[in-house]
Amino acid sequence: WFLSGFGNGQRAAFLDDKAVSSGIPVTMGNAKFHVQIPCSVWAEMVQPPNVSNDTIAPKSISSVLEYGHGLFATRGEADDFFLQRMANEEGYILTSMDWRGMSTYDLLV
C-alpha cells in the first residue's frame, strides 16, 4: 500500500508521498474481496486418485480470473449464475473486489 486515508468511513485514498519516496509501503491493510473455487476444481483437489465421482466432473485449475464489476456495481457481480457455470465447466477460480471510485459504495447519496 502506498496510500493514506483509506479504510472504513473514508471516501477517498491518497498517494502517500513519504511511502513512495522511501520505497517502503505500509505493510498492513485490509481489502474486501471474494475468491470462489468451483466444485469441479475442489473435486480435483480433494478426490483421491482412481476414485470416480459421478456427480461432479473434476477439473484442473486452468486459470484465475479477476472479475471487474460494471459502473456503480459491486464485487457481488461475480456471483452471477453464468460466471459460476463457466468457472465450474472450465476450471476457473474467480476473484473479485470493489473498484475504488467505481462501486455502488462511491455514489453520493
The closest of 72, 74, 40 to 56, measured between CA atoms, is: 40
Helix (H) or strand (E) holding 36: strand 33-36
Amino acid at 64: V
| Predicted structure pTM score | 0.61
Taking residues 11-28, what's their average pLDDT? 72
Region of poorest pLDDT, from 49-58, 71-80, 99-108:
49-58
- The Cα 52–Cα 48 span in angstroms is 9
Query: Could you tell me the residue ranges of all domains in the chain?
Result: 1-30, 32-106
Q: What is the pLDDT of residues 64-82, one digit of tens each?
A: 988 888 787 888 888 889 9
8 Å CB contact between 96 and 33: yes
